[in-house]
């Protein structure tokens, strides 16, 4: 390699920073949230709030005290702030929710601005004497392009209030939402936000319903002819028959095992013009009413109240998308089985020094669909008052390795992007089922390893990222001869992300994030139908650190539906701190 001067290396490092998305490994959350209230049953999470710059923000209220008591989406208007004009150092979405005392299911909340999703999550369930309130935040800096002009917004939070099946559902959900705009001060490293945001939604302008593998949400793209980098932020939420997709089995066994079909494997597929362009793993979110509501009070499952989108890198296709022709990007869920909701935002960066670029795809080995392998070992015993007993194990595994390589001829030369991805999924389930016993366990692992290599002249920038979504679930329901019943449940849910960035083989940044929720509970059902919870325990531990010295850690402990303890700074030398 030709020798480079020191000044050239400095320029190369600056150029490398521009190749990293604004929401990537640089700015991470290390702010310590307020001290939790011991003895409270209010929803709480160990996750920290979004890190803020030191500048004073301009706050734009999107709506206030909006009541959700039906399934009609609520609209609102947005006008950009007049004092804090962009480009902004950071934009943060915030929302506060309350559910009135009474009875209500968990509900899905999705908010849109200019049809782009700015928040997605689910709600907490109330009790007769508990009106849960909680706060959520999301870094939406990468959506800055839609905040520059007046927009119409939509708050979609369908909620039934009334009587159904003799049961009165009277919990009304209230919400406030705002955007905080932080101006640049010159003290922060601020990476440019995407120049273009294109929502990819269903036919009604919000999350689209995917009932089968062939269903999709799509958007025709008419991008300018100088797109350099492209990303797709995807959320795929399981619903109804797919809500507990990680407990599903092959459809031929579903009736015997009293569960759902299409196996326990799901995967998001992304296509451009009908051809494979990327994948996204499906996170096993568990809602506050899932399996046993007492498992999640007051600590919900990971991201339950505030989903995080998964980012798919489509940059190898930038040259194709810049050719002046319309192109269609689509999102589907492999093995969807009635149903998933999906929403996505396409983010594009343009070349500021050239109005028209060229480029294309060099390599794409991503197959059109995964090829999961299913292994069943089932035994059945007939006879007796209990009928047939099924004892079996079910395993489904999927492994994919692929490369996608593309280039663009930009104002600063030829830029080539190579993606190498290794995707692994494995689920092992055990069942013991008859007409008085439903005993099942699940051990699931889902990992994605991505190496992204960008070559820009002499500069070679390498990013590595590892995603891991381990899930362990144990469930047993037994009916006694007197009509009483007992249900025990245990969940170990995790989210692990590790990443690093290197220039010319020299690593300059690494980070590690680990989030784990462990919950257990026993429900006792009397012959008359009354329910009591015993032995409920939940623990959440969130830890983040990076090579810059930032570190944050918080552990929450709950028992019998109230917070009992919290610990900050474990594993952080000197406690929680940042270098921002």
DSSP string covering 53-110, please? Answer: -SSPPEEEEEEEEEEE-SSSPEEEEE---SSSPSSEEEEEEEEEEEE-SS-----EEE
Q: What's the CATH code of the domain at 168?
A: 2.60.120.230
- Asked if residue 288 belongs to a domain, the reply is yes
Residue with tokens 């069942």: 431
pLDDT at 475: 95
Q: Are residues 114 and 76 in the same domain?
A: yes
State the greatest distance between any 2 C-alpha atoms of the chain, in Å, as a whole number: 84
β-strand pairing of 88-99 with 173-183: antiparallel
Across 233-260, average pLDDT: 95
- Asked if residue 315 belongs to a domain, the reply is yes
**CA distances to 38, 49, 360 from 30, in Å:** 22, 8, 40
What pLDDT band is residue 414 in, cutting at 50, 70 and 90? very high
pLDDT at 387: 65
In the three-class reduction of DSSP (H, G, I as helix; E, B as strand; rest coil), residue 287 is classed as coil
pLDDT at 418: 98
With a CB cutoff of 8 Å and minimum separation 6, the contacts of 481 are none
Among 127, 45, 34, 35, smallest CA distance to 558 is for 45
With a CB cutoff of 8 Å and minimum separation 6, the contacts of 232 are 200, 270, 278, 311, 312, 314, 329, 331, 344, 345, 346, 347
pLDDT at 116: 98
d(CA 121, CA 109): 5
How is residue 481 annotated by DSSP? Answer: T
Domain end residue (candidates: 187, 221, 252): 187
Across 128-135, average pLDDT: 95
- Asked if residue 459 belongs to a domain, the reply is yes
For the cut 60, the answer to whether the pLDDT of residue 263 exceeds it is yes
**CA distances to 74, 116, 148, 316, 437 from 151, in Å:** 14, 10, 9, 31, 54
What pLDDT band is residue 273 in, cutting at 50, 70 and 90? very high
Q: Are residues 124 and 260 in the same domain?
A: no
pLDDT at 6: 35
pLDDT at 56: 92
Q: Are residues 150 and 215 in the same domain?
A: no
- Asked if residue 1 belongs to a domain, the reply is no
CB 493 within 8 A of CB 516: yes
Domain end residue (candidates: 170, 187, 204): 187
Q: What's the gap between Cα 148 and its chain centre?
A: 26
pLDDT at 580: 46
Among 317, 312, 328, 321, smallest CA distance to 361 is for 317
pLDDT at 388: 77
Q: Are residues 217 and 314 in the same domain?
A: yes
Helix, strand, coil shares of the chain, percent, nearest 5, are 5, 50, 40
- Asked if residue 369 belongs to a domain, the reply is yes
CB 194 within 8 A of CB 65: no
The dihedral through the CA atoms of 433, 437, 441, 442 has a sign that is: positive
- Asked if residue 512 belongs to a domain, the reply is yes
Helix (H) or strand (E) holding 11: helix 6-18
Q: Are residues 217 and 183 in the same domain?
A: no
Q: Of 28-42, 102-116, 240-254, 381-395, which gets the smallest average pLDDT?
A: 381-395
- Asked if residue 578 belongs to a domain, the reply is no
Q: Are residues 484 and 559 in the same domain?
A: yes
Percent of the chain residues topping a pLDDT of 70: 92
pLDDT at 14: 42
Domain that holds residue 362: 6-53+188-568
Q: Are residues 176 and 197 in the same domain?
A: no
d(CA 254, CA 244): 13
pLDDT at 379: 83
Residue with tokens 């793209």: 221
Across 487-515, average pLDDT: 96
pLDDT at 579: 52
Among 156, 135, 134, 123, smallest CA distance to 92 is for 135
In the three-class reduction of DSSP (H, G, I as helix; E, B as strand; rest coil), residue 479 is classed as strand
Q: Are residues 149 and 279 in the same domain?
A: no
Q: Are residues 378 and 515 in the same domain?
A: yes
With a CB cutoff of 8 Å and minimum separation 6, the contacts of 367 are 276, 400, 402
Q: Are residues 304 and 366 in the same domain?
A: yes
pLDDT in tens, 458-480: 899 999 999 999 999 999 999 99
- Cα torsion for 371, 372, 373, 376, to the nearest 10°? -150
pLDDT at 573: 85
CB 284 within 8 A of CB 493: yes
Residue 358 backbone class (left: φ over 0; alpha: ψ -120 to 50; beta: rest) = beta
Q: What count of residues does the chain have?
A: 580
d(CA 128, CA 104): 10
For the cut 90, the answer to whether the pLDDT of residue 34 exceeds it is no
Among 99, 443, 429, 531, smallest CA distance to 288 is for 99
In the three-class reduction of DSSP (H, G, I as helix; E, B as strand; rest coil), residue 565 is classed as strand
Across 241-250, average pLDDT: 97
Written in H, E and C, the secondary structure of 306-358 is CCCCEEEECHHHHHHHCCCCCEEEEEEEECCCCCEEEEEEEEEEECCCCCCCE
- The count of structural domains within the chain is 2
d(CA 559, CA 563): 7
pLDDT at 574: 75
For the cut 50, the answer to whether the pLDDT of residue 25 exceeds it is no
Domain end residue (candidates: 139, 155, 187): 187
Rounded to 5°, angle at Cα 486 from 481 and 487: 145
What pLDDT band is residue 412 in, cutting at 50, 70 and 90? very high
In the three-class reduction of DSSP (H, G, I as helix; E, B as strand; rest coil), residue 220 is classed as strand
CB 453 within 8 A of CB 461: yes
- Asked if residue 412 belongs to a domain, the reply is yes
Q: Supply 395's token pair.
A: 């395993």
Across 527-531, average pLDDT: 91
pLDDT in tens, 415-458: 999 999 999 999 999 999 988 999 999 999 999 999 999 999 98
Across 406-413, average pLDDT: 96
For the cut 90, the answer to whether the pLDDT of residue 511 exceeds it is yes
Q: Are residues 520 and 395 in the same domain?
A: yes
d(CA 239, CA 337): 9
For the cut 50, the answer to whether the pLDDT of residue 411 exceeds it is yes
What pLDDT band is residue 256 in, cutting at 50, 70 and 90? confident
Q: Are residues 165 and 248 in the same domain?
A: no
pLDDT at 390: 81
pLDDT at 86: 82
With a CB cutoff of 8 Å and minimum separation 6, the contacts of 82 are none
Q: What is the mean pLDDT of the chain?
A: 92
pLDDT in tens, 189-237: 788 999 999 999 999 889 999 999 999 999 999 999 999 999 999 999 9
């Amino acid at each position: 390699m030709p020798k480079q001067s020191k000044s050239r290396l400095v320029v190369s490092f600056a150029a490398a920073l521009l190749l990293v998305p604004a929401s990537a490994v640089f700015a991470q959350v290390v702010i310590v949230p307020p001290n939790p209230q011991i003895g409270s049953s209010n929803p709480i999470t160990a996750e920290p709030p979004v890190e803020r710059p030191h500048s004073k923000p301009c706050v734009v209220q999107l709506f206030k005290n909006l009541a959700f008591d039906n399934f009609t989406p609520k609209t609102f208007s947005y006008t950009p702030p007049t004092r804090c004009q962009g480009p902004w150092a950071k934009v943060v979405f915030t929302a506060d929710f309350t559910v009135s005392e009474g009875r209500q299911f968990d509900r899905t909340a999705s908010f849109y601005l200019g049809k782009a999703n700015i928040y997605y999550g689910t709600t907490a369930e109330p009790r007769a004497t508990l009106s849960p309130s909680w706060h959520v935040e999301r870094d939406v800096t990468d959506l800055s392009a839609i905040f520059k002009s007046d927009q119409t917004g939509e708050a979609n939070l369908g909620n039934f209030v009334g009587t159904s099946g003799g049961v009165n559902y009277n919990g009304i959900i209230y919400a406030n939402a705002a955007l905080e705009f932080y101006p640049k001060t010159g003290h922060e490293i601020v990476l440019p936000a995407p120049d273009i945001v294109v929502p990819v939604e269903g036919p009604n302008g919000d999350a689209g319903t995917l009932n089968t593998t062939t269903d999709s949400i799509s958007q025709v793209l008419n991008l300018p002819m100088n797109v350099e980098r492209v990303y797709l932020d995807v959320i795929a939420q399981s619903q109804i028959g797919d809500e507990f997709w990680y407990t599903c089995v092959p459809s031929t066994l579903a009736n015997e095992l009293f569960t759902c079909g299409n196996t326990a494997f799901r995967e998001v597929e992304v296509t451009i013009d009908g051809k494979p362009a990327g994948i996204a793993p499906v996170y096993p979110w568990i809602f506050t009413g899932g399996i046993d509501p007492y498992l999640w009070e007051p600590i919900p499952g990971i991201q339950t109240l505030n989903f995080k989108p998964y980012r798919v890198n489509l940059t190898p296709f930038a040259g194709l998308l810049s050719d002046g022709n319309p192109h269609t990007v689509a999102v589907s869920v492999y093995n969807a089985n009635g149903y998933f909701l999906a929403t996505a935002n396409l983010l594009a960066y343009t070349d500021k020094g050239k109005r028209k670029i060229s480029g294309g795809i060099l390599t794409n080995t991503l197959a059109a669909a995964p090829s999961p392998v299913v292994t069943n070992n089932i035994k059945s015993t007939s006879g007796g008052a209990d009928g047939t007993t099924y004892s079996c194990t079910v395993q489904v595994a999927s492994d994919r390795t692929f490369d996608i390589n593309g280039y663009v001829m930009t104002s600063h030369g030829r830029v080539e992007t190579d993606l190498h991805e290794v995707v692994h999924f494995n689920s092992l389930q055990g069942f013991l089922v008859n007409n008085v016993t439903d005993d099942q366990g699940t051990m699931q692992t889902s990992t994605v390893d991505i190496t992204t290599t960008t070559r820009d002249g002499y500069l070679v920038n390498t990013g590595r990222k590892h995603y891991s979504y381990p899930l362990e679930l144990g469930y047993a329901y037994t009916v006694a001869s007197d009509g009483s019943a007992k249900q025990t449940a245990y969940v170990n849910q995790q989210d692990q992300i590790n990443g690093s960035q290197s220039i010319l083989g020299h690593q300059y940044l690494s980070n590690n994030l680990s989030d784990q929720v462990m919950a257990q509970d026993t429900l006792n059902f009397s012959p008359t139908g009354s329910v009591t919870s015993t032995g409920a325990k939940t623990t959440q531990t969130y830890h983040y650190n990076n090579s810059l010295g930032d570190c944050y850690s918080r552990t929450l402990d709950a028992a019998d539906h109230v917070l009992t303890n919290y610990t900050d700074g474990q594993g952080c030398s000197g406690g929680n701190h940042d270098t921002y």
